[in-house]
A and B are shown apart, each in its own frame.
Chain A
């Protein structure tokens, strides 16, 4: 059974700080990794994807992948209250995505 694990949180950070969200996965052969943001009552929205070891930056967001440790993370710089949401980590398995249960992020002013 392939699994994706996330700390459910909540992770509370002050406005302007860096939020660090972490995810581990069980299948060493996994190649593609995704971060989705989900506001309460809304559908998941793609934030970033990463396929290669290392860092990938997009604006205030940086995804980090370490395949040897089976670990993927999402850093949010200069966190804003509008970043308060649940962040879902997902790992691709053929045509499907295996989701973690998500980490709830709270950014307080």
Chain B
């Protein structure tokens, strides 16, 4: 089945220790998104790629970076995680101007 896959599903890191979250998709969608969602809050868009064009939200901290080496894969790098970065990180994909489909998410814990 075509799908959006996120790895790992649960990630525990230490304060300040870099972490990378991955997302892959078999839908051949040209847009990929990274969201951060904290408890009882709406998903907050961090950035998205339209093909290789990177679009950063104005309020996304510099601590968050992203890479998209090919159509299928996208990575979220958190360079120095703080306690406030503990959240669910959601990857989504879509065709341009079409519906977004979410992966299962990665729950990040920062100790």
- Per-residue 0/1 for A70-109: is the Cβ within 8 Å of any B Cβ (1 yes, 0 no)? 0000000000000000001000100111011110000000
Residues 47-61 (chain A) with a chain B CB within 8 angstroms: 49
- B-to-A contact residues, CB < 8 Å: 31, 33, 40-43, 45, 48, 50, 55, 88, 90, 94, 96-97, 99-105, 107
Count of A interface residues, CB-CB < 8 Å: 19
Query: A43 touching B50 by the CB < 8 A rule?
Result: no
A2 within 8 A of B: no
A34 within 8 A of B: yes
When A42-B105, A95-B55, A96-B48 are in contact, do A34 and B99 touch as well, CB less than 8 Å? yes
Query: B42 touching A49 by the CB < 8 A rule?
Result: no
- List 7 contacting pairs A-B, 8 Å CB cutoff, sorted by A: A43-B90, A45-B102, A46-B100, A95-B97, A96-B45, A99-B42, A101-B42
